[in-house]
Structure 1
Amino acid sequence: MTEARKKFKRIGTTTGLISGITYGLYTTFVLIAGYYKPLAGAVGLFAAPYVTSGLNDFFAGLWLTAYNIKTGRIREIGRSLKLFPGKIIVLGSLIGGPIASGAYLMGLAMAGAYAIPISAMYILFGAIFARIFLKQKIVLRVGAGMVICVIGAIVINWVRPEGSTNFTLGIICAFVAAIGWALEGVLAAYGSAMLDSDIVINIRQLLSGVVDLFVILPLAGGMGLLKGTMLSMPPVAWLIVSGLCAAISYLCWYKSNSTVGCAMGMSLNITYAFWGVLFCILFIKQPVTPTIIIGSIIIMIGAVLVSVDPFELLNKKEDVINEI
C-alpha cells in the first residue's frame, strides 16, 4: 500500500512537471511560427494572434480527438454536450479559448516573453473568483501570495524592453488572459467533476479553434491571412507541433490534478512561467533583463503560495520519508 501511494505521487508529480514544460514549449513554438510569413509583419492587432491561436487550438483538438478515438471514448463528446455540465464546459471553453488564449498570444506578440509570467497570475484571479462564486475564504497565506504576485508584475513592468512600442498593451492582454483562464478554471472545476476530463479538454480545444477560425477571424478581416498561412508550410508545421504540446500539457495537468490534488497540480503546471521564459531565451534569443528574471521568480513564488500550503507540503514529504 505504501509503495502504491508513493508510485501514485510520483506519477502525479511527473505529469504535473511535464504539463508545465510542454506548455512552455507550446508558447515558444507559437512565437516561432509567428516569425514566418505571412504571419510575420501581418497588419492589425487581432489577425495574426487569432490565426495562431485558432490553428494551435484546432490542431490540439485534432490530436486529442485521435487520442480519444484510440481509447474508445470519442462517443462521450456528443453525450457530454447534451448534459448541463457539458454546457458549462462550453461556456468555460469560450472564455478560456477565444478570449483568454487569444489575449495571451496578443500579449506574446506585443510584449514577448514578458507576457508569460503575467499570465501565470491566473491563480491569483482564480482565488478571487473562488471567493466570489464558490464562497471560499481567502486565508492569510493566499492573501500574501496575491500581494507577492502583484509585486512581481510591478517588477516585470518596471523597465520596458527596447524597441517594444506596444509593450504596455501586451502586458494588459496578458492580464486579460489570466482573468479569462481563472474564470475558465472555476467553470471547468464544476463540469469536470461530473465528466471525463479527457473529453472536457477535447471539447475545449476543438471549440476554441473553430470559434477563433470561423467566427472571430472573419470579423477581424483575417481570413486572407489564414488562407496564406495554411499554404505556407513552416508556420503550419510549427503550429501542429505546438498543438501537440498544448494537448499533452492539458492531459498531464488533469492527470496530475487527479493524483496529487488540484493545489499541487496547479503549482507544478505554473512552472510554465519559468520554462516559457527559459525556452524563449534559448530558442528565440529573447533579451534577458534583470526585471524579467526577478519578476518571474517573484510571481512563481506568489503563485505557488496561493495554490499550496508550504508547511503542509513539508509535512507530506516528512511522511513519505518516514514511510520509507
Structure 2
Amino acid sequence: MFVLNPIGGGILKMTETRKRFKKIGITAGIISGLMYGLYTTFVLIAGKYEPLKGAADVLPGLSGALILAYVASGLNDFFAGIWLTIYNIKTGRIKELGRSLKLFPGKISLVGSFVGGPIASGAYLLGLSMAGAYAIPISAMYILFGAFFSRIILKQKIIPRVGVGMMICVVGAIVINWVKPEGSTNFTLGIIFAFIAAVGWALEGVFAAYGSAMLDSDVLINIRQLLSGIVDLFVILPILGGMGLLGSTMLSVPPIGWLLLSGLCAAVSYLCWYKSNSTVGCAVGMSLNITYAFWGVLFCILFIDQPITPTIVVGSIIIILGAILVSLNPMELFTKKED
C-alpha cells in the first residue's frame, strides 16, 4: 500500500516553481540585452538623418554634444513611455501608476529612474557620439558596480560562479576597447561618459530590484521611461538651449521613425530587465543584460558599417561566455538528473 506524502509533494512542487521562476528570469535577462542592442543601433541610425546629422557642425563642442544626446535620449525615453502606457492600458495596469507613486518602494524607484534615465542614459549617448560603438561594452561594466551596490544595499549574496562570470564579462569589455579606433574624436571623453553611465545604471538596477520586488515591475518601468523623457525634454533641454533642435527633429520623419523603433526596443528591454532583476536577483539580471554589449556591436557592424576588429570579435565572444556562466552551472549540462 502506497501512502501519499503531502510534505514531499509540496517540496517537489516548490522546487518546480523555483525552476520555472528562474527560467523566466534568465530568459527575460537575455531578451533585455538583445533589445537594448537594437535600441542602441536605432538611435545611432536616427543620428545619421537631418537635422540631427547636421547639428554636430552647427552646435560644436561639449554643449552641442549634450544637446544632441538629450534630444535623442529624451525622445527615445518619451516614446518608450508611450509604448509602455499603451501596454499597461491593454493589460489593465494603468490605474496602478498613481498608487505606486504614493508608496515608499515607488518613490525609491523614482530615484533610480532619475539616476538611470537623465543621468546614465544621457551619458551613454554622449559616449556613443564621441567613442562610437566602443562605448557600448565600457558601459557594460555596470555589473561590477551593480554587484557591489546590491551586496551593500540589498544584502544579496554573490556565489563564486556568478562572480567569476561577471569578471569574465568585464574582461571581454576591456578587450573590445583595447585598441583606440582611428579617426575617433574625443575618444577618451566618450569612454568617461560611458563609465558614468555604468555607475548610474548600477544604482538604477539596485533601486529597481527593491521596488519591483514589492510593486509591479511593468508599472515601475512605465513611470521610469515617462519621467526620464519628460525631464530630458522639458527640464534639461531648455537649460541647454536645445528646444530649437527638438522642434526641427519632431518635424522630420526619418529620425522620428527610427526613434519610435528605438523607444519600442527600449520599452521591451527595460520590461525584461526589471522582470529579470526581481526574479533571479540584481547581480544575475545585470549580468544577462550585459550581453547588449555583444548585440550592440554586432548590429552596428551589420547596419552602420562599424569596422570589424579582432578586439571586437574576441571581446564579444568572451562576454557571451561570461553571461552563460552567470546564467547556469556548466556541470548541470553533464549531470543526468533522476526523475
User: Is contact 2:209–2:281 with CA below 8 Å preserved after alignment?
Assistant: no
2:50 matched to which residue of 1?
37
Q: Is the contact made by 1:13 and 1:260 (CA closer than 8 Å) also made in structure 2?
A: yes
Change (3 A) 1:14 1:143: closer
* 1:285-306 deviation line (CA, Å, top 9, x unaligned): 111222233334445555666x
Deviation of the 1:169 alpha carbon:
0.9
Uncovered stretches (5+) of structure 1, i.e. residues with no partner: none
By how many angstroms is 1:132 displaced?
3.7
Distance in 1 between residues matched to 2:22 and 2:165, nearest whole Å: 25
Deviations 1:1-59 (A, max 9, x none): 69887766655444333222111111100000011111113211201111010000000
SS at match of 1:95: helix
Paired residues of 1:126 and 1:186 also in contact (CA < 8 A): yes
Match of residue 25 from structure 1: 38
State the partner residue of 1:234.
254
Check whether the contact 1:60–1:206 (CA below 8 A) recurs between aligned residues.
yes
C-alpha deviation, 1:314, in angstroms: 2.9
Given the alignment of the two structures, is residue 211 of structure 1 paired with residue 231 of structure 2, yes or no? yes
Q: More deviation in 121-130 or 67-76?
A: 121-130
Q: Contact (CA 8 Å) 1:273, 1:300: kept in 2 or not?
A: no
Q: What is the rounded CA distance, in whole Å, between the counterparts of 1:247 and 1:136 in structure 2?
A: 26
Deviations along 1:177-206, whole A, 9 cap, x unmatched? 111000111111211111110001001000
Residues 72 and 147 from structure 1, CA distance in 2 versus in 1: closer, same or farther, beyond 3 angstroms?
Answer: closer
What is the one-letter code of the residue matched to 2:130?
M
Q: Is the 8 A contact 1:124 1:149 kept in 2?
A: no
Q: Aligned partners of 1:262, 1:218: CA distance in 2, in Å? A: 35
- Contact in 2 for aligned 1:273/1:296 (Cα 8 Å): yes
Q: 1:71 aligns with which of 91, 102, 108?
A: 91
Instruction: For residues 236-275 of structure 1, give each alpha carbon's deviation from its aligned partner in whole angstroms, at most 9, with x where no partner exists.
Output: 0000011001111122233445555555543432211111
User: 1:15 is aligned with what amino acid?
Assistant: A
2:296 match: secondary structure: helix
Q: Separation in 1 of the partners of 2:338 and 2:244?
A: 61
- Paired letter, 2:330: L
- Shift in Å at residue 75 of structure 1? 1.0
SS at 1:40 equivalent = helix
2:101 match: 81
For 2:284 and 2:204, locate their aligned partners in 1 and report how far apart those are by CA, in whole Å.
18
218 and 315 in structure 1: CA distance in 2 versus 1, 3 angstrom threshold: same
User: Does the C-alpha gap of structure 1 residues 250 and 323 become closer, same or farther in structure 2, counting only changes over 3 Å?
Assistant: farther
Q: Distance in 1 between matches of 2:219 and 2:186?
A: 38
Cα offset, 1:165, TM superposition: 1.2
Does the aligned pair in 2 maintain the 1:156–1:292 contact within 8 Å?
yes
Q: Which residue number in structure 2 is paired with residue 322 of structure 1?
A: 337
Q: Superposition RMSD on alpha carbons, in Å?
A: 2.7
2:202 maps to amino acid: A
TM-score, normalised to structure 2, is 0.84
- TM-score, normalised to structure 1, is 0.88
- Once the two structures are superposed, the pairs formed by residues 268-307 of structure 1 within 5 Å of their partners are 268-301=288-321
Structure 2 unaligned regions, length at least 5: 1-12
Q: Look up the SS of the partner of 2:53 in the other structure.
A: coil
Q: Report if the CA contact (8 A) 1:124-1:303 is conserved.
A: no
Match of 2:263 in 1: 243
Q: How high is the sequence identity, in percent, across the aligned residues?
A: 76
The structure with the larger Rg is 2
